[in-house]
Amino acid sequence: MPELPEVETIRRGLAPALLGRTITAVVLRHARLRLPLSPELTNILPGQRVLAVERRAKYLLLRLDRGVLLLHLGMSGYLRLLPAEQVPQRHDHVDLVFDDGMALRFNDARRFGVCLWLGGEAGEHPLLSGLGPEPWDEDMTGNYLSAFAAGRKSAIKNLIMDQRVIVGVGNIYASEALYRAGIAPQAEAGRVSLARYRRLAEAIREVLTQALAAGGTTLRDFRDSAGRPGYFAQLLDVYGREGEPCRGCGRPISNQKIGGRSSFFCRHCQH
């Protein structure tokens, strides 16, 4: 479900509600997400306070007294803050119950998400250690992307969705950023000029910044932690707009599978 703007929207919503709260109980209702849910969570987490609610890539990181709890929402996951006694629904897999009677409830129909205790050396964990720069990092430049792409034959869209290259860009914003940069998503990564990578680096930052300001993109079911939708969907230029007129030239938007994922673009404005 979520890309960087959606995860960051959730983080911003959760932080004020969770900071300083102490976990009093953990409820596990399904044993297996993308990684198995450890039964030990019910022993490890209670008694620990929330010191910070952070994000790295599309991971949410709850920094607690004795280490970090990592959450990933996969394709279909969402988090809600609700009274702990509220009756759980289908696919409500995990509750973190807090000392104010509220619970952070993790629902994930497809179970591609992750809820994992990383302990005190979170940065060393393989899920985090191989990640590329955040979009707003100083070293995420056109030069950096261009250097990474050198010699690569794969489609540029796949390159920018590779979390080892740059984090946070998923299938929606990859199409959107490439449209803004005027680059065809199927272009061979190693043959795109440095000038165009500079435009692309800017376009990635720009589209993510605007999506974040709009509270993310709600297509089917995205909601922030308070249940509100995001409003970026109405600002999408290409994603989900197959056959509709390009906002630049009026010609119909195309949809083509690249790396197994639908990719939306304008054949006239992107090369």
Partner DNA sequence: ACTGGCTCCTGAGGGC
Partner DNA sequence: TGCCCTCAGGAGCCAG
Is 3 considered catalytic here? yes
The amino acid sitting at 15 is: A
Catalytic, out of 2, 5, 135, 185? 2
Is 198 considered catalytic here? no
Catalytic, out of 152, 198, 228, 261? 261
Instruction: With both helix axes pointing from N to C terminus, report the angle between 194-213 and 171-181 in degrees, rounded to the nearest 10.
Output: 130
**Residue 189 CB, nearest approach to DNA (Å):** 7
- Sequence-ordered list of residues with C-beta below 8 angstroms from that of 179, at least 6 positions apart, any chain: 237, 238, 264, 265, 266, 269, 270
Is 2 considered catalytic here? yes
- Sequence-ordered list of residues with C-beta below 8 angstroms from that of 81, at least 6 positions apart, any chain: 14, 17, 102, 103, 104, 105, 225, 226
Backbone angles phi, psi at 135, to 5 degrees: -55, -30
Catalytic, out of 11, 55, 56, 58? 58
**Residue 255 CB, nearest approach to DNA (Å):** 7
**Residue 136 CB, nearest approach to DNA (Å):** 17
**Residue 9 CB, nearest approach to DNA (Å):** 9
Give the integer Cα–Cα distance in Å for 258 and 206.
23
Residues binding DNA (CB under 7 A)? 1-3, 6, 32, 34, 57-58, 72, 74-76, 90-91, 109-112, 127, 151-155, 158, 161, 163, 170-172, 189-190, 216-222, 230, 259-262
Please give the positions annotated as active site: 2-3, 58, 261
